[in-house]
Amino acid sequence: MQILLFLVKVLIFPGALFTACVGLFLAGIDRKVIAHMQKRIGPPIRQPMYDFFKLMGKETIVPARANKLVFLGAPIAGFISLAIVMLFIPIFGFTAFSGTADLIVILYFLTIGGVALIVGGSSSGSPYAGIGISREMVTMMSYELPFVLVLLSVARKVGGSTLAFSMNQIADYQAANGSLLFSWSMIPAAIALLLIIPAEVGMQPFDVAEAETEICEGPLIEYSGAALGMFKLNTAMKMCIMTGLFTSLFLGGIRTGTVVCDAIIFVAVCAVVTLVCITTIHAVTARLKIEHLFKFYWTVVSGLALASLILVWMGL
Amino acid sequence: MIIVNYIASIILIVLGFYTVCTKKNLIKIVLGLGIVDYGINMLIVSFGFNEGGTAPIYQLSDLLNGVAPQFFVDPVPQALTLTSIVIGACVDAMALSLVVMINRKYKTVNADEVRRLRG
Amino acid sequence: MMQHFPVLAVMLLFLAAFLVEIFGSKNKVIRNGLTLLATTNALVMTLALIKPVMMNGEVISYWMGNWAPVSGYAIGIGYEVDALSLFFGILVTATFWLSSIYSIGYMNKDHHLGHYYTLFLMLSGSVLGLVFTGDIFNMFVMIEIMTFASVALTAFRNDSEGALEAAFKYLVIGSIGSSSVLAGVAMLYSQCHTLNMAQLSSILSGGLTPTSVVAFGLIVAGFGVKSYIVPFHTPAADAYAAAPTSVSMVFSGMVNKAGVYGMIRMVYIVFRAMDHSSVQMLLAVFGAVTMFVGVTMALTQHEFKRLLAFHSISQIGYVITAVSLGSALGLTGGLFHAMNHTLFKGLLFLCAGAVLYRTGTTNLDKLGGLSKKMPQTTICFLIGAGAISGLPPFNGFASKWMIYQGIFTKALTSGNFLYVIITVTALIVSVMTLASFIKVTQAVFFGQLREEHNDVKEVPAVMLIPMYIMAALCVICGTIYPLVSKYLLFPAANASLNVGDYIDKMMGAGYAEAAGVPTMLVEPVTFSFWNPVLWLILFGIVFFAAVIVILLGTNERGKILTAGEKPEAKYATFFSGEEEMFSQVGGSDLFWGFKKNWKGYYKVFTELHSGIVTDYTSYTVIATAIIVMCLFIFMR
Amino acid sequence: MFKKLIDKSASKSPWLYHINSGSCNGCDIELVACLTPRYDAERFGFKLAGSPRHADIVVISGPVTSQSRDRLVRTIAQVPEPKCVVTIGSCPQSGNVFKGSYSVEAPVENFVHVDVAVAGCTPKPEAIMEGLYTAALILKKKREAMHK
C-alpha cells in the first residue's frame, strides 16, 4: 500500500502526469488569452496537447554531428528532474514530500531542467545552438541571483531565527498567519518572483535564448519529433512549477481539507498567476537584448528582492 | 644583549620582503628570499639563547648525582635552525637554477618581461 | 602492529623515491612497478587504519626513536593519526594511487621519467607525512619538501610554454608562505617550549599571549598560502596549468588540501581559536572572496587547465568558508566538500589530460566536437562537471547543501547580515561554476570537430580506469553519503572539535583536564533532506516510466533516425540552407551578455593577475600583514 | 497507446517553415497576413517555426532562382516525416513573369515533391489559408500511412 501510494505520488499526482497536464493546460490558457488580447480567436485550450502528441508522432532525426546518447538523453533528464520538483511544492494542504531544505532542492532541480536544454543543444553541434546555449546560460545566471534572494527572504520571514527551507513549514506558517503576499515587507519579493517566472519559462521579453526569428530557436534548432516534444513538455511543466511555486510561497494558506478541492483551487490560482506574469508581460513587451536582460535582473529585480530581504531581516 | 638579535632579525626580514616585493631582477628576488630565511634563522637561535647559560652538555655522573647546572641554552632551536638553514639553501639553489633556465629560454631575468602566464 | 602503519606508509614512499632513482631510471617496468607498489602500499596501510581510528575512536601514535613523552613533556617527533589526519590521509593516498596509474599512460611520451617518479613519490610522501605528523616543526619540513617536489614537477616539462615561469612563481610565493609558517613556529616555541601539537594545545588553552597571537596570524597566513586562498592564489593558477596533468590533479586534489588540513589543525586543535568571532569572520570573508574571485576569473579563461585551476581556487573558498563557521555542521560540510573536490577536480583534470594527450592542446578556442571521438572521456567529464556545479545526484550537491545550510544557520543564529551575503555569494558562485563548465563542454566536447582532430582516438585503458573510478566515486559519494558521513566525516569533525580527547589520548589520560581543556561530546550532525535511497528510487521510477511509455509507443511513435556512414542532407546541421561548413562557437565567444555587464570588474582583475612576480609577492606580503594585524587587534 | 490521439493531432498542429526562394516578397507579406487578427491562422494551430526540424509544412514562395535551388532542396530534406510542401503564388509553379530568365529554375516540381499549390499573384490570404488547411489534412493521411 505504502509503495503503491508512493508510486501514485511520483507518477500521477502531484508528480509527472499532473504536472504535465496542468502545464499544458496553463500553456493553452496563455495562448488563448493572448489571442483574445490581440482580438483573435486563437487556438483551442488543448492546442499545446495537440502539439505535443503531433511531435510524438514525427520522426526524430539525430544529426550526424550530434552525440546520440547526450542528444536523446538530455530531454529525458530534464523531464525527470522537473517531475521531481513538483513533488516538493505543496498543493495548499497536501504535500507529497517535505524535507528540511525543499527550497534548495527546488532551486537545483530547476537548474537541471535548464542544464538539460543547454547540454542537449550543445551536443547537437550547431553554431546557432552554440549562441543559444550561451544566451540561455546568461539568462540563468541573471535570474538566479534575485531568485536566491527571494527564497532567502521567505525562509527568514517564515523561520524567524531558525532555518526554514521546508515548504511544509512555509505552508503551515501561511495557514496560521495568512498569505505572505499580504505582509507588506514581502511585496517586493513577490514582484521580483513574478518577474523571474517569464525568464525561467523562456517567455517574452526574456526569450532571447530561443529567439526563433534570429537564431532559429537556439538550443532547440536540431531537435525534432519526440525529443522536441519532450522539451516543449518540459517548458510547460516549468510553467506549472513556477506558478505553483509562487502560489505556495506567497498565496498559500487556503485549506479546504480535501485534496481534490485544494488541487482545483491550486490550478485556478496558478492560471491567474500565469495570466498576470506570463501572458500580460508577453502581450505588451518586445524581446530584450541579452545584456539588457542581465542588467535588468541584477539591478531592478535583485534590488526588489534585496529590499524585501533587508526589511525582513530587520524584523518587519 | 639579546634585544639586538631580535631587532637585527626583524630588520633582515623586512629588508628581505622589501627586496622580494620591489626588485625586478629575478636573482635579486631569490636573494631577498634568502635574506628572509636568514632573518628567521637568527630569530629562532635568539629564542633559544639564555644569557649566561651553558651548553647543554653534562657528564653522566653529574646527572646521576643531581648536580647538573640548572641554567643552559635550549638546544632545540639550534637543531631547528640547522634544518632550516639546509632547507633555505635548497630553496635558493633551486630558485637560482630556475632563474638560469628562465634566462636561457626568455633571454632576460627582468620580472616585467617574464609574464607569459597572466589574466 | 597498527601503530607502525603511518610511519611505514610515509617512509616506504620516500624509500621508493630513491629506489626509483637508482634502479628505475632506465627500466620502465621497475619504475612503474615500484611506484605502484609504494602508492598501493600507502593506500592499503591508511585504509587499514579506518577500523581502529574511525570506528573505535583511537589515536594511533608512533614516537620516532621511542621518545615517548616523559612526565608530560613530549620532546620526540611523534606521528599522531587521529580521525582528522586519517581522513586527509585516505584522500592523499587514494589521489596518489590513482595518479600513479594515470601517469603510466599519460607520461609515456616524456623522457627522464625516473626523475619524474622520484619527485612524484617525494611529493606523495611529504603530503602524507604532513598529514600524519604530530610535530609542528616536522610539519614545516614536510611543507618544504612538498614545495620543492611541486616546483620541480611544475617545471618538469620545461620546454612547454610557461612551465619555468610558473615554477619560479610557485617557488617564490610558496617559500614566503613557508617562511611565515617557520616564523610562527619559532614564536610559538619561544612561548611554549614544545613542538608537539597536543602539548601546545594544552599549554595555549591557558590563554594566548600577544606573541602567540602573532604566531597564530603568521601560521594562518602561511597555511593560507599553502591552500591558495585569494590573494595568495596567483601561482596556483599558473602552476596547475603548466604542470603535467597527472601532477595537476595531485596539486589541485591534495597539495592545496594539505594547506586546508594545516589550517583546520592549527585553528581548531592547536589554537582552539574558533570561539573568537573575529577569526570566524576573517576566514569567512577570505573564503567568500576566494570563491568569488576564483570563479569569475575562471569564466574568462581560454585554457582548459588554467580554467580548472581557477575553479580549484574557487572550491577551496567553499571549504574555507565552511570551516570558518566553527560549527559541527559547517566543519562536516567543509570536510565533505574537500573530499568531493579531490574527487571531481581530479576527474576533471584527468579529462583535461586525456584531451591534451590526444590532441596536444588545451586551448579552448582550438578544440571542439571531441565527444564523437572520445565518448567515454565525455561522459566522465559531464559527471565531473555536474558534480562540481553541485547538481543532484552527484556528491557536490550534498556537500554544497551542507555548506549553505551551515552558513545560513550561522546567519540566523548570529544575526549577522554578512553571513547572508556569503550565502548568496555561495549560491551565485555555484551557478557561475555551472556556466563555465557549460563553456568547456561546448568548446571542447560538443560543437564541431576540427579537421586536424579527425584521427583522434579514445585514450588507453590505463588512463580511463582512474577516470572511471573517480566518476563512480562521485556518484557513490553523492548517493550513499550517510555512510560516508558516519564513517569518515563525523569522526573527523569530532576529532577536530573534541580537542580534550585528542590531548588525553596523546599525552596520557587526565592531561587535558589538568590543563583546562574540556573533553566534550559532539552531537552527530543529522540531515533529513537528502535521503539518497529515496532519491534513487524516485529517479528509477520516473526513468522506467519514461522508458515504458517510450517502448509502448514504438508502433505509433515516430522513429529515431541516426545518420549512416555516408553524408546525407537529412542529417546535416542546419545552416540556413547552406552546405555544412565549419563554424564553432568557441569558448571565448560565449557569455557575451555577462561579460559586457562585468567589463569594469574584469578590467581590474585581469590587470591584477599581471603575471609579474613582484606584484604577486606584494599581494602575499600585504595580505599576510593584514591577517596578522587583524588577528592581533581583534583577538587580544 | 495514443495512436488515435497522435493521428488526430497530426492535422491539428501544423507548424510552418517558410522558404523564400527569390520571391518579390508579395506572397511573404500575404502569408504573414494570415497570422494577423483578421485571418488568425493560429486558431487551426498554425505556427511559424524557426527551424526546418520543427516544421510539418514547408511553404515555398518565389520562382526558385538557381542560387536558392540547392539550399531549398537541402532544407526540405532536413524536415522530418510526415511533411507537406506547399507553394504559394504562381512563381514556384511556372516562373510567372520571371519565366525564361537565365537564373530562374521554376517549376519547383522538378526538385521537390509538392503536395499543395496555391496559385495567384499574389494569392489572397483566404486562398493561402485553404491551401494550408488542405496540407494539414494531407499530413494526417501521411501520418496514417506511416504506421501501416
The Cα C238–Cα C615 span in angstroms is: 14
Residues 6 or more apart in contact with residue C351 via CB below 8 angstroms = C377, C380, C381, C384, C467
Of all residues in chain C, what percent carry a pLDDT higher than 90?
A: 1
Residue C518: the pLDDT is 66
With contact defined as 3+ CB pairs under 8 Å, the chains touching A are C, D
The Cα C425–Cα C414 span in angstroms is: 18
Q: Which of C492, C490, C503, C522 is nearest to C85 (CA)?
A: C492
The structural domain count of chain B equals: 1
Q: Do D42 and A43 touch (CB under 8 A)?
A: yes
On chain A, the residues whose CB falls within 8 A of the CB of C386 are: 115
Whether residue C224 is contained in a domain is answered as: yes
pLDDT band at C551 (very low <50, low <70, confident <90, very high): low
| pLDDT tens track for C452-480 | 877 888 888 888 888 888 888 888 887 77
Whether residue B16 is contained in a domain is answered as: yes
On chain A, the residues whose CB falls within 8 A of the CB of D51 are: 212, 216-217, 220-222
The Cα B118–Cα B114 span in angstroms is: 10
User: Is the distance from CB of C484 to CB of C527 less than 8 angstroms?
Assistant: no
Chains A & C: contacts with CB separation below 8 Å: 234
At position B92, the amino acid (one-letter code) is: D
First to last CA, chain A: 46
| pLDDT tens track for C47-95 | 888 888 877 777 888 888 777 777 777 777 888 888 888 888 888 898 8
Picking from D12, D13, D50, the nearest residue to A216 by CB comes out as D50
Picking from C415, C558, C589, the nearest residue to A57 by CB comes out as C558
The structural domain count of chain C equals: 1
| Conformational region of residue C34, where left means phi above 0, alpha means psi within -120 to 50, and beta covers everything else | alpha
Comparing D69 with C515, which gets the higher pLDDT?
Answer: D69
User: Is the distance from CB of A252 to CB of A174 less than 8 angstroms?
Assistant: yes
Burial tier of C193 (Cβ tally within 10 Å: 0-12, 13-18, 19+) = middle
Whether residue B119 is contained in a domain is answered as: yes
Three-state DSSP state, C266: helix
Whether residue D147 is contained in a domain is answered as: no
Q: Which of A116, A154, A108 is nearest to A133 (CA)?
A: A116
B2/chain C closest Cα distance in angstroms: 13
The Cα B116–Cα D122 span in angstroms is: 64
The Cα C457–Cα C468 span in angstroms is: 17
The Cα A103–Cα A105 span in angstroms is: 5
User: Is the distance from CB of C316 to CB of C227 less than 8 angstroms?
Assistant: yes
Q: Do D9 and A212 touch (CB under 8 A)?
A: no
Picking from C553, C570, C577, the nearest residue to D71 by CB comes out as C577
C468/chain D closest Cα distance in angstroms: 36
Q: Which of A148, A150, A15 is nearest to A88 (CA)?
A: A15
Picking from C155, C609, C617, the nearest residue to B20 by CB comes out as C617
> Which pTM was predicted?
0.90
Chain A touched by D144 (CB under 8 Å): no
pLDDT band at A223 (very low <50, low <70, confident <90, very high): confident
Residue C81, strand partner residues: C60
ipTM score assigned to the predicted complex: 0.86
CA trace torsion C421, C425, C427, C433 (10° rounding): 180
The Cα C395–Cα C371 span in angstroms is: 24
C–D touching, 3+ CB–CB pairs within 8 Å: yes
Q: Do A217 and D54 touch (CB under 8 A)?
A: yes
At position A61, the amino acid (one-letter code) is: I
| pLDDT tens track for D34-50 | 888 888 888 888 888 88
**Per-residue pLDDT averaged across C608-627, rounded?**
88
Edge-to-edge strand ranges of the sheet holding D84-88: D47-48, D15-20, D57-61, D84-88, D116-118
Comparing C142 with C73, which gets the higher pLDDT?
Answer: C142
Residue C587: the pLDDT is 67
Picking from C549, C558, C569, the nearest residue to D77 by CB comes out as C569
Distance of CA D13 to the CA centre of its chain: 14
Q: How many CA atoms lie within 13 A of C172 on its CB side?
A: 34
At position C194, the amino acid (one-letter code) is: T
Whether residue B39 is contained in a domain is answered as: yes
pLDDT band at C555 (very low <50, low <70, confident <90, very high): low
At position C269, the amino acid (one-letter code) is: I
Q: Which residue has the cell 489534412?
A: D137
Q: Domain range holding C596?
A: 164-540+587-635
Whether residue D82 is contained in a domain is answered as: yes
The Cα A23–Cα B104 span in angstroms is: 67
CA trace torsion D116, D120, D121, D126 (10° rounding): -80
Three-state DSSP state, B108: coil
Q: Do D6 and C572 touch (CB under 8 A)?
A: no
The Cα C475–Cα C400 span in angstroms is: 15
Of all residues in chain A, what percent carry a pLDDT higher than 90?
A: 0
| Per-window interface: A 183-222 vs C, CB < 8 A | 216, 221-222
Pick the residue from chain D with its C-alpha nearest to A227: D54
Chain C touched by A164 (CB under 8 Å): no
Three-state DSSP state, C115: helix
At position C144, the amino acid (one-letter code) is: E
User: Is the distance from CB of D139 to CB of D14 less than 8 angstroms?
Assistant: yes
Residue A274: the pLDDT is 79
Comparing C392 with D115, which gets the higher pLDDT?
Answer: D115
Torsion sign across C-alpha atoms C186, C192, C195, C196 = negative
Whether residue D148 is contained in a domain is answered as: no
**Per-residue pLDDT averaged across C618-627, rounded?**
90
Q: B31-45, C228-242, C559-573: which range is least confident on average?
A: C559-573
The Cα C121–Cα A277 span in angstroms is: 61
Q: Most D CBs within 10 Å: which of A34, A52, A58, A131, as the mutation test of the D interface?
A: A58
- Cell of residue D15, nine digits: 507548424
Q: Domain range holding B28?
A: 1-52+75-119
Residues 6 or more apart in contact with residue A290 via CB below 8 angstroms = A135, A138, A139, A208, C592, C593
| Conformational region of residue C572, where left means phi above 0, alpha means psi within -120 to 50, and beta covers everything else | beta
Q: Which residue has the cell 544575526?
A: C415
Q: Most D CBs within 10 Å: which of A54, A71, A214, as the mutation test of the D interface?
A: A54
The structural domain count of chain D equals: 1
At position A48, the amino acid (one-letter code) is: P
Whether residue C128 is contained in a domain is answered as: no
Q: Are strands C78-81 and D47-48 parallel, antiparallel or unpaired?
A: unpaired
Q: Which helix (H) or strand (E) holds C59?
A: none
φ/ψ (deg, to 5) at C360: 80, 10
The Cα A5–Cα A19 span in angstroms is: 17
Q: Do A145 and C590 touch (CB under 8 A)?
A: no
Q: Do D2 and C570 touch (CB under 8 A)?
A: no
On chain D, the residues whose CB falls within 8 A of the CB of C560 are: none
On chain A, the residues whose CB falls within 8 A of the CB of C538 are: 10, 84, 87
| Per-window interface: B 50-69 vs C, CB < 8 A | none
- Cell of residue C133, nine digits: 605528523
Whether residue A1 is contained in a domain is answered as: no
Q: Are strands C78-81 and C60-63 parallel, antiparallel or unpaired?
A: antiparallel
| pLDDT tens track for C298-346 | 888 888 888 888 998 899 999 999 888 888 888 888 888 888 898 888 8
D3/chain C closest Cα distance in angstroms: 6
Q: Does residue B111 register a pLDDT over 70? A: yes
Comparing C384 with A88, which gets the higher pLDDT?
Answer: C384
Q: Does residue A119 register a pLDDT over 80? A: yes
Whether residue B105 is contained in a domain is answered as: yes
Q: Which of C595, C601, C600, C590 is nearest to C293 (CA)?
A: C601
Burial A106-126 (b: 16+ CB within 10 A, else e): bbbbbbbbbbbbbbbbbbbbb
Distance of CA C9 to the CA centre of its chain: 21
Q: Does residue D28 register a pLDDT over 70? A: yes
Three-state DSSP state, D116: strand
Q: Does residue C210 register a pLDDT over 80? A: yes
With contact defined as 3+ CB pairs under 8 Å, the chains touching B are C
| pLDDT tens track for B41-99 | 888 888 877 777 777 777 777 777 766 666 777 788 888 889 889 888 888 898 899 89
On chain C, the residues whose CB falls within 8 A of the CB of B101 are: 155, 158, 164
| pLDDT tens track for C176-197 | 988 899 989 888 888 888 888 8
Residue D102: the pLDDT is 87
Distance of CA C488 to the CA centre of its chain: 16
Residue C106: the pLDDT is 84
C541/chain A closest Cα distance in angstroms: 8
Q: Which of C239, C256, C257 is nearest to C248 (CA)?
A: C239
Based on C-alpha coordinates, what's the Rg of chain B?
A: 21
Query: DSSP state, C430?
Result: H
Residue C521: the pLDDT is 62
| pLDDT tens track for A188-212 | 888 888 888 888 888 878 877 777 6
Q: Domain range holding D91?
A: 12-142
Distance of CA A233 to the CA centre of its chain: 12
pLDDT band at B11 (very low <50, low <70, confident <90, very high): very high
Interior CA angle at C352 toward C348 and C356, to 5°?
Answer: 165
Whether residue A102 is contained in a domain is answered as: yes
Whether residue B57 is contained in a domain is answered as: no
| pLDDT tens track for A247-280 | 888 887 777 777 778 778 878 888 788 787 888 8
Highest mean pLDDT among A67-71, A174-178, C100-104, D1-5: C100-104
Query: DSSP state, C2?
Result: G
**Per-residue pLDDT averaged across C226-236, rounded?**
87
The Cα C625–Cα A35 span in angstroms is: 66
Residue C367: the pLDDT is 81
Instruction: Work out the mean pLDDT of chain A and round it to a whole number.
Output: 82
Residue C561, strand partner residues: A61
Interior CA angle at C428 toward C427 and C434, to 5°?
Answer: 95
Q: Does residue C529 register a pLDDT over 60? A: no
Whether residue B59 is contained in a domain is answered as: no
On chain B, the residues whose CB falls within 8 A of the CB of C67 are: none
Chain C touched by D148 (CB under 8 Å): no
Burial C13-29 (b: 16+ CB within 10 A, else e): bbebbebbbeebeeeee
Widest distance between CA atoms in chain B: 70
At position B10, the amino acid (one-letter code) is: I
Highest mean pLDDT among A35-39, C508-512, C594-598: A35-39
| pLDDT tens track for D86-138 | 988 888 888 788 888 888 887 888 888 888 888 888 888 888 888 888 888 88
Q: Most C CBs within 10 Å: which of B6, B41, B84, B117, as the mutation test of the C interface?
A: B117
Helix A167-177 to helix A127-159 angle (10° resolution) is 50
Chains A & D: contacts with CB separation below 8 Å: 92
On chain D, the residues whose CB falls within 8 A of the CB of A31 are: 42
Q: Are strands D15-20 and D47-48 parallel, antiparallel or unpaired?
A: parallel
Residue A252: the pLDDT is 76
- Where do runs of H (alpha helix) occur along C300-363? 304-324, 328-359
**Per-residue pLDDT averaged across C385-395, rounded?**
84
